[in-house]
Amino acid sequence: MLPQWFNKWNSENKTDIYGPAILVGACGAAVIVVVGLISFGQPYATDSLQTGPRGIGMSVPEFKVDLATPDPTIEAMYTEEPYVPEGGETLASEAYENVQVLGDLTEDNFNRVMAAITQWVAPEQGCAYCHGDVGIEEYGNDDLYTKVVSRRMIQMTQNLNEAWAGHVNANKEVGVTCYTCHRGENVPSDIWFKLGEVSAPMTGWGGVQNKVTVQSSYTSLPSDALEAYLLNGESIKVHDLEAHVDVKPTAVDYPAWQDAERTFSLMNYVSNSLGVNCVFCHNSRAFYDAGQVTPQWATELLGIDMVVEMNTEYLVPLQDVYPPERLGPVFADAPKAACRTCHKGYQQPLQGTNVIGNYPELATTGAPVYE
């Protein structure tokens, strides 16, 4: 029992003890949470990908838990170390008939590469996918379109690794193989065809937009951006930055608002293909200024030129080789590639896995270098 004078003084000088108590309790709880996060690992820890010079804030934050999530197709990738030639081995062109590419490989390495391509492209059908259900003595026949296409795709893969290393190996040596696009499927996912006018009631410019399509990344933006920029090689540009410019949209080389919409459609497609946002390549204060972009901008520019070559030199010319069921639904055109065909939503295909290391035969059109 407290003294009477204390009770009287306390009643005359009332103090709020609940506020400080709540504050102390909240601070204590926060300290406990911080200690717990430090002790057990921060579940939402982030990492930053530097996209420009240091000190100017050009970086992209990403959750580490997302970065740690592996591409499920990596584990399924078939690979086998090469046989280093000692000299004097039988060559594939000597052992088999009609070997138009890879004929200078030893028989063992040729069979190793063929086995890998089978696993990458047709794991269920096996060798019969390209050669048919015939004896090995008839494998030299070109009866099936799949074999003719495969031969050309080998040449395309060699060219990509040899001529486009600035894009393919921009960060480190990773290379590309058939598996980069096919992932165990006969037909790679994320190929595309020309669509033409997709809005039936309209024609002209209105006919190629305002309808959700795969080519426009499920937006109402123009659906012919891939055709314009990744097939026809048209110049990527946006509308004039000045207001009320006295130039007609029909003027030659004038960046009309139609070009701007088509550019936005392509950029949206690229962003979704790589799983990144705009500042991965651009400086947000000047999207249009090529002098203020990130290093990834140059890599992407190379990639666009590379895809144009893939489509015009390798894929489109195969149109007459394909059967009708492999051609486009509208124009019966050959299947074509774009960024998502390889990247599948990741910054680097197969998250930067070195796929070419065991396959130097696909890295060059010349003699492979074995290490």
In the annotated binding site for heme, the residues are: 114, 127, 130-131, 153, 167, 178, 181-182, 267, 278, 281-282, 339, 342-343
Q: Which residues pair with 49 in a beta bridge?
A: 60
Give buried/exposed letters for 159-194 (b at 16+ CB in 10 A, else e): bbbeebeebbbbeeebbbbbbbbbbeeeebebbbbb
| The Cα angle at residue 260 between residues 215 and 292, in degrees rounded to 5 | 105
Retrieve residue 257's tokens: 């608002």
Hey, how many other C-beta atoms are within 10 angstroms of the C-beta on 345? 12
Distance CA 21, CA 206 (A): 66
Instruction: Give the annotated binding-site residues.
Output: 114, 127, 130-131, 153, 167, 178, 181-182, 267, 278, 281-282, 339, 342-343
Instruction: Identify which of 56, 75, 308 has the alpha carbon closest to the alpha carbon of residue 183.
Output: 75
Collapse the DSSP code of 366 into the 3-class scheme (helix H, G, I; strand E, B; otherwise coil) and give the result. Answer: coil
Distance CA 103, CA 97 (A): 10
